[in-house]
Amino acid sequence: MRRNRVLMMLAIVALACLSLGLGRLAAAGEWKVEVVSGDRSMVLTGVDAAAMRAHTVKAAFLRSTGRIDGPSAYTVIPMDAILAQVGGINPEQAIRVTARDGYQMVYSFAQVNGGIFTYDGEGNVLRVGGPSMLLAFESERDSADKLPRIIYGRPDGVVITDGHFWAKAVAKIEIIKGVEDWQISLSGAEKVWLDRATFESIVTCPVTPHPAVSWSVAEKDGSTSTYEGTPLWVVLSVIDGGDTPDGHYVFNDDFAEEGYTIRVISKDGMAAELDSQSVARNNDIIVAYRKNGEYLAEGDAPLRLVGDLPTKKHSVKGIATIEIVGN
């Protein structure tokens, strides 16, 4: 099956984030990665890595523009060997990877165990699963400021995976409470599925031009709750036909000015509509994924619309679909 062009480009913000703002450069052999699980922790260095089950693989990744980068050779250690140093990981857990610039990405238990898409040399989807998550600390391709990094590979041949999973300049690996992977449907000039990893990469990237935002609300008991996410207009830029010739998503201001309707639909079929002029470049209408520092609870999850909305009805919980209609 030919991969949808939009899906191939969906991680552009995440991939751009991984290539910018890395902070302090790590000279070869001088890097350190903190590995944490509860009250257990250790510091992994280049010397430690070389003494572990280090081996060489060739791997490639699919850029968001559809171009395949590689294959290139990497010296790696398996992620399971790293996690074993602090007690390992179980199916109810996930890992959070933090880069030297503060960028974070959360990998589910399935993703830690290679449960991601693989592709052929033309960018067509082959299957889910097959590769292993690895920490690369030497590379014929990457400079020292990008190492160590997460890659996916296997010893018996080249595997091609999504580039937005290849977190660079890793500084910390934490075992955390498990996360549930999800997808929501986006429909407009294009149709595509937006997944958890891509959404979180957009929100947490410290150098993205698409802002991460928060919104505080007063609860009935007098407390305050804070939601975190990204503006709705950022999500719309994926499906409003405004991408540039090189495949980068750009919000289509002209289309929004002409006018269209945005329909946000929940998992139980409840829907709310907004007009494009009120949403365009408005950072106060937010697609949220966290509340008070935690993932949204069941009922609100995976995403909820919050912010400066026309009515309470517009605060759609459990978003399943976002559509552009009437265009």
pLDDT digits (tens, 9 = 90+) for 150-166: 999 998 889 999 888 99
- Looking at residue 202, what is its pLDDT? 77
- Looking at residue 207, what is its pLDDT? 53
The SS3 assignment for 32 reads: strand
Q: For residues 274 and 263, what is the distance between their CA atoms, to the nearest angstrom?
A: 7
Q: Check pLDDT > 60 for residue 6.
A: no
Domains annotated for the chain, with CATH where assigned, are 5-177 (3.90.420.10), 183-325 (3.90.420.10)
User: Which of 302-309's residues contact partners 24+ apart within 8 Å by CB, and which partners?
Assistant: 302/180, 302/182, 302/184, 302/196, 303/184, 303/199, 303/229, 304/227, 305/232, 305/264, 305/272, 306/215, 306/217, 306/227, 306/229, 307/215, 308/282, 308/284, 309/274, 309/285
* CB-CB contact of 124 with 3 (8 Å): yes
- Looking at residue 99, what is its pLDDT? 93
The mean pLDDT value for 269-291 works out to 96
Question: What is the residue whose two structure tokens read 């498990």?
Answer: 178
Structure tokens at 145: 């400021």
- Which amino acid type is present at position 202? I
- Looking at residue 29, what is its pLDDT? 52
- Looking at residue 206, what is its pLDDT? 59
Choice among 60-69, 189-198, 241-250, 266-275 with the minimum mean pLDDT:
241-250
Question: What is the residue whose two structure tokens read 């947490």?
Answer: 204
Q: How confident is the model at residue 305 (pLDDT cuts 50, 70, 90)?
A: very high
**pTM attached to this predicted model:** 0.72
Q: How confident is the model at residue 243 (pLDDT cuts 50, 70, 90)?
A: low
Q: For residues 227 and 61, what is the distance between their CA atoms, to the nearest angstrom?
A: 33
Q: Check pLDDT > 70 for residue 20.
A: no
* C-alpha angle 201-305-209 in degrees, rounded to nearest 5: 35
**Structure letter (DSSP) for residue 154:** B
Q: In terms of Cα–Cα distance, which of 247, 198, 189 is closest to 67? A: 247
Structure tokens at 87: 């007690």
- Looking at residue 23, what is its pLDDT? 35
Q: How confident is the model at residue 24 (pLDDT cuts 50, 70, 90)?
A: very low
- Looking at residue 160, what is its pLDDT? 95
Q: Check pLDDT > 80 for residue 15.
A: no
Q: In terms of Cα–Cα distance, which of 199, 164, 187, 173 is closest to 296? A: 199
Q: Check pLDDT > 70 for residue 13.
A: no
**Structure letter (DSSP) for residue 20:** S
pLDDT tens-place string over residues 113-127: 999 889 999 888 888
Q: Distance from CA of residue 249 to its chain's centroid? A: 16
Q: For residues 184 and 238, what is the distance between their CA atoms, to the nearest angstrom?
A: 13
H-state helical runs in 33-164:
46-51, 79-84, 109-112
For residue 148, cis peptide bond before it (omega within 30 degrees of 0): yes
- Which amino acid type is present at position 73? A
